[in-house]
Structure 1
């Protein structure tokens, strides 16, 4: 069984009375595909982005059993006025619920919130749960501000209280230190690392110990940064016993690596050697299958790199689907019999 925990959708249309700042989906002559027009963006969106029946067909073609679909990241427009951002989020969330209702055993959907207004975002979480959505997707920064900033803590606390999953998608932030061509490559890796580190350093990870949160693309460079942070916290190499004589950071709770092992990470890092490092450092129980489909082509068959690694059966079962179920709050977390019941329902 394979659950692709990083896939995307787009609404196929928007209301006629929608605010002018909403995206548009223009028809493409001779095709069921649409052209997404959103500010300066012009993106040809294949029918599989918005047609539930095409999603299921694509899953079957790639030998994928289910997908966790989240809004296409450009929809996370935190520069919109809060009122417009909320209206856009509500429409996108309605579409997400419709997709999930078409095939609830194959399509598990996440919504979105106007995080530029943390109070409105927290308030919308209850509606996301009421729609039957599994959780919410957010960007790795909000207009350049870290998601670990204190102002966003009530949002994460509410997500934790409601038992909703959070998916942090790396989003490029403007920088003059790298060329524009690096926005979708190196900058995404930097952004993922900053987002994950900010949740530890800003206190969110400590304040929300039961928050179920995952990061796209394994949180970029974060897994290579965190052993250094662990050294400064504990004063020892190779995660050895804490040495107070050498430790630089105060011992005010779990180590950086212990916090990092509370998070989930999709394994879309494009190289089996990187996946082996993630397993060794963070654990096979922390990784999810991811593809970015259909924004990016999916490996054929799905999760081919993971399949080819010939992982031990327990590791494979964790990464292929059990971790996704745990992240979504659907088990398996007790006995094998319980796991089988959950797997039978998905």
Structure 2
């Protein structure tokens, strides 16, 4: 069983939102051919994509070719639309959530779905999370690393975490609108340096604020192997030790990572082994970032090459860990 936890999908009709509200800042999908398109923002090309982004049939072809049994579908972060008016962002979320749920329902043996919520309004987000989980049958919620520049430990988000813990909803945290963007115009550093740093800030915010202490059963998965967070965790502990006046938790930061999960997208067996040694192999899930350029092809290649891990541990990372994170019963034949 091979489950790719980190894949992105966009509905073909996502352009309807921009046209309905007359706002070009919402992403549009402009076809360039039958198998390609540009994602447009404010009239500019944000990203060139192929039909892998919107076509379940194409995805299944790729999955079969690359040995993937199940993809976990989540929105592309640019569609979060946290900047928009709440009613408009709600429609954007619902359009995507309905599409993902329908895609899963058409091929339930190949796809699992994560939803998105308009986190600029916590009340609306809780309502949409409720609909995603209890009506649409989605298995988790993807959120950004910040909400319009606000870190995830802002007090206004407290009730969202409370609801997620109460309903046992895993959160998939994906970087977007990265810190220091103004210093990264060259070399695509926003993707290779900014995103890992942004993810580390999000993880540290959840810990140092006391959110993970207050919600010990909240499950959180971080994209891209947790970015730089796993490697700065000892430094966070040291900061907690030397600045007692700043402490908001009863124990050092490393104590609160027991419900942190990390996808495997860090490109190097040494990094996979480091995650396993620090957090446990059962906290790593296969993630490829399909279908974008920085993805791992085929998914799981680096995990398979981490020879220090036993065969059983590698198999858990490639499949069952994701199912357990998403509260999906692991069938005996999948073990």
TM-score, reference length from structure 2: 0.90
CA contact (8 A) 2:233 2:254 kept: yes
The equivalent position to 2:323 in structure 1, one of 322, 325, 337, is 325
In 1, Cα distance between the equivalents of 2:46 and 2:235? 41
Q: Deviations over 1:136-191 (max 9, x none)?
A: 11110111110122111111111222222210001133526733232111111110
Deviation at 1:300, TM superposition (A): 3.7
**Corresponding pairs, count:** 326
Deviation at 1:214, TM superposition (A): 0.3
Deviation at 1:112, TM superposition (A): 0.7
Q: How does 1:31-110 map to 2 (within 5 A)?
A: 31-39=34-42, 40-110=44-114
Report SS of the residue matched to 1:323.
helix
Look up the match of 2:193: 186
CA contact (8 A) 1:233 1:251 kept: no
Structure 1 gaps of 5+ residues are 236-245, 333-338
Look up the match of 1:208: 215
Look up the match of 1:20: 22
In 2, Cα distance between the equivalents of 1:232 and 1:146? 19
* 1:8 is aligned to 2:8: yes
CA contact (8 A) 1:12 1:34 kept: no
Look up the match of 1:259: 256
TM-score, reference length from structure 1: 0.87
Q: Deviations over 1:272-300 (max 9, x none)?
A: 11111111111111111111110236434
Report SS of the residue matched to 1:44.
strand
In 2, Cα distance between the equivalents of 1:116 and 1:41? 25
Q: How does 1:228-239 map to 2 (within 5 A)?
A: 228-231=235-238, 233=240
Deviation at 1:249, TM superposition (A): 7.2
In 1, Cα distance between the equivalents of 2:46 and 2:227? 27
Q: Which stretch shifts more, 281-290 or 178-187?
A: 178-187
* 1:150–1:315 CA distance, 2 compared to 1 (3 A): same
* 1:79–1:304 CA distance, 2 compared to 1 (3 A): same
CA contact (8 A) 2:71 2:110 kept: yes
* 1:232–1:151 CA distance, 2 compared to 1 (3 A): same
Look up the match of 1:132: 137
CA contact (8 A) 1:140 1:191 kept: yes
* 1:253–1:321 CA distance, 2 compared to 1 (3 A): farther
* 1:295–1:203 CA distance, 2 compared to 1 (3 A): same
Structure 2 gaps of 5+ residues are none
* 1:340 is aligned to 2:332: yes
Look up the match of 1:148: 153
CA contact (8 A) 1:232 1:249 kept: no
In 2, Cα distance between the equivalents of 1:65 and 1:192? 28
* 1:224 is aligned to 2:231: yes
Q: Which stretch shifts more, 273-282 or 16-25?
A: 16-25
In 1, Cα distance between the equivalents of 2:248 and 2:138? 38
* 1:277 is aligned to 2:274: yes
RMSD between aligned alpha carbons?
2.3
Deviation at 1:308, TM superposition (A): 1.8
